[in-house]
């Protein structure tokens, strides 16, 4: 089973890559830059040959991303613009359009399963978040660009599921 991972230079993506490669799963990590590649390598010393790199960006067109996914069994979409201060347009471009691109690339590459990483921030409205899971409804009043964009990315995922994609909606960390 081979995995394609976006966001491998981040905390969650880094832990995921380390876990997968230690289990012997071949991983293709999407990296935007040499700095991102160096961050992944630093967190995954000794992972070769289970770890290979693909240069690209989730904001690239799906047709550019899909050849890199071919032959993988699962896509873990961990990449996101996580910022309290980013302009809404930037958050939407990365978190919504990027998710659309990843899902479409997975469809083109005939990936069997996609795991989309979301955030509890889609539930945050100023009240405590208690006793909830991924089935809880998103707030009607998200607090900022990040939760707005991640909520819309979840909507993109829900639409893809209605079109037949096998998608797991877990991993709120």
* DSSP states of 114-155: EEE---GGGG-SSS---S--TTSPPPSS--SHHHHHHHHHHH
Asked whether 80 and 150 are in contact (CB, 8 A), the reply is yes
Asked whether 101 and 60 are in contact (CB, 8 A), the reply is yes
Whole-angstrom Cα distance, residue 139 to residue 161? 21
Closest to 53 (Cα-Cα) out of 43, 71, 68? 68
Q: Is 76 a catalytic residue?
A: no
Could you say which of 65, 146, 154, 160 is catalytic? 146
> Active-site residues: which are they?
146
């Amino acid at each position: 089973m081979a995995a394609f991972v976006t966001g491998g230079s981040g905390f969650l993506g880094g832990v995921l890559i380390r876990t997968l490669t230690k289990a012997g799963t071949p991983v293709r990590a999407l990296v935007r830059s040499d700095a991102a590649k160096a961050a992944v390598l630093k967190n995954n010393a000794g992972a070769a040959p289970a770890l290979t790199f693909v240069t690209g960006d989730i904001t690239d067109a799906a047709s550019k991303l899909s050849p890199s996914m071919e032959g993988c069994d699962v896509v873990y979409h961990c990449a996101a613009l996580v910022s309290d201060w980013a302009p809404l347009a930037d958050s939407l471009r990365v978190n919504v359009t990027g998710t659309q691109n990843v899902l479409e690339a997975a469809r083109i590459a005939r990936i069997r399963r996609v795991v989309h990483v979301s955030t509890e921030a889609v539930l945050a409205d100023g009240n405590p978040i208690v006793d909830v899971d991924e089935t809880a409804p998103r707030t009607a009043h998200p607090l900022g660009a990040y939760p707005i964009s991640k909520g819309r990315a979840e909507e993109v995922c829900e639409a893809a599921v209605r079109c037949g994609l096998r998608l797991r909606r877990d991993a709120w960390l």
